[in-house]
Amino acid sequence: MLENPFWEFRAIKIACEERLLHAYRQEQFPVTIVRPSHTYDKTLLPMDGGWTVVDRMIKGKPVIVHGDGTSLWT
């Protein structure tokens, strides 16, 4: 994620991480940095089934994932 020089999100995320790490080093501010495998918003979901997956969740139906659930992409 941090390697893509053409994505504005990358630059903003790097700036935020740097600010948080500075606060951690200077003030012992607790920090956790998360780098998700997928970035999503209200129009793009990180699921192959798209909104069908959300519909299944709302209806209490099982959500199907590949493998046994231990994949790094789960």
pLDDT tens, the chain, 74 aa long: 556 667 787 888 889 999 999 999 999 999 998 876 666 667 766 666 667 888 888 999 987 766 676 766 54
Radius of gyration of the chain (CA): 17
Sequence-distant (6+) residues with CB within 8 A of 30 are 24
- Domain segments of the chain: what residues? 1-35, 38-74
Is this prediction's pTM over 0.75?
A: no
